[in-house]
Amino acid sequence: MKPHRDFLALTDFSAAELRALFRLSDAMRRGEYRKRPLEGMAFAMLFMKSSTRTRVSFEVGAWQLGAHALFLSPRDVQLGRGEAVADTARVLDRMVQGMMIRTFAHADVEEYARHSQVPVINGLTDLQHPCQILADLLTVQQHLGSFEGKTITWIGDGNNMANSWCDAASLLGFTLRLACPEGYDPDPTILARATTGGNVQLLRDPHAACDGAHVVTTDVWASMGQEKEQAIRERAFAPFQVNGPMMARARKDAIFLHCLPAHRGEEVSAEVIDGPQSRVWDEAENRLHVQKAVMAVLMGGEPLG
């Protein structure tokens, strides 16, 4: 049996463990956590997709916890020349104490985890983006006191973010409204699992989905690898732009989130993302704190309790 846990999706933690993870993340955010549980360790970061926030937050976080982070792109490893994922995993786990993978197919991250004896963290796949949702929920807690009893509205594509929001709502019990155009729903298996509890709804009217919401959040219309669909997606998603009138239907104290990068004038208007309800910069910073907590738990043995 593998001696360490992985973090490939939010469902890898229980609800109680997630709440404990948020307490640890918040202690890190407040500067109250001074330990260096990864002292002397090495942390491999495999990027098959480029990123600003993922690379900087993991690299800085690993360093702050005492580890040395290694950035590995397809040009830096033999995966770019056809080496099997399993072989790369077996080689790396002899030399590092943890891995983060940011890639396309979720099956690739699962294969790394199967063949690695050290913890594997999902930095993003086309199916799931669990680290981002942790950061989003920490931001909700930071500004609204708690995500308990809140209504969170997702506007736009039923992509990896929407899928991970579904998992979060299933585990933590807050109300989630998903407003997606026809043909752009979340993964059917994940959506079916989430909607059985009654607190997750799929809607077609984005304005109605915002009524009384505590949080409104969105993402780009075409994610990395979908650029050829841009024109088609622009037509489908045009009514789903988060703008002033849409935010006006949410609560007066509602906050706006976006995982970034953002395209002003497409999925969100400048008046919203640069306005007083936007918390996107705190959200981006919180990637650092939640990922430090994940690394401290999985690699450093920090207890969740």
- Give the residue numbers annotated as catalytic, written as ranges: 102, 129, 132, 219, 259, 287
Going across the sheet that includes 68-72, the strands are: 68-72, 42-47, 98-102, 120-124
78 annotated binding-site participant: yes
75 annotated binding-site participant: no
88 annotated binding-site participant: no
289 annotated binding-site participant: no
Q: Hey, what are 128's tokens?
A: 């799931």
Query: Rounded to the nearest 5 degrees, what angle is found at the Cα of 65, between the Cα atoms of 27 and 257?
Result: 50
73 annotated binding-site participant: no
* Backbone Cα Rg of the chain: 19
* Whether 134 contacts 124, CB under 8 Å: no
Q: How distant is the alpha carbon of residue 226 from its chain centre?
A: 19
54 annotated binding-site participant: yes
287 annotated binding-site participant: yes
51 annotated binding-site participant: yes
Q: Hey, what are 239's tokens?
A: 């009514």
Query: Rounded to the nearest 5 degrees, what angle is found at the Cα of 62, between the Cα atoms of 291 and 166?
Result: 15
The phi and psi torsions of 202 (rounded to 5 degrees) equal -105, 120
260 annotated binding-site participant: yes
Q: At what angle do helices 280-298 and 15-29 cross, to 10 degrees?
A: 110
Query: 């989003």: which residue's tokens?
Result: 136
258 annotated binding-site participant: no
160 annotated binding-site participant: yes
Binding residues: 51-54, 78, 102, 129-132, 160, 219, 223-224, 259-260, 287
Binding residues for carbamoyl phosphate: 51-54, 78, 102, 129-132, 259-260, 287
Binding residues for L-ornithine: 160, 219, 223-224
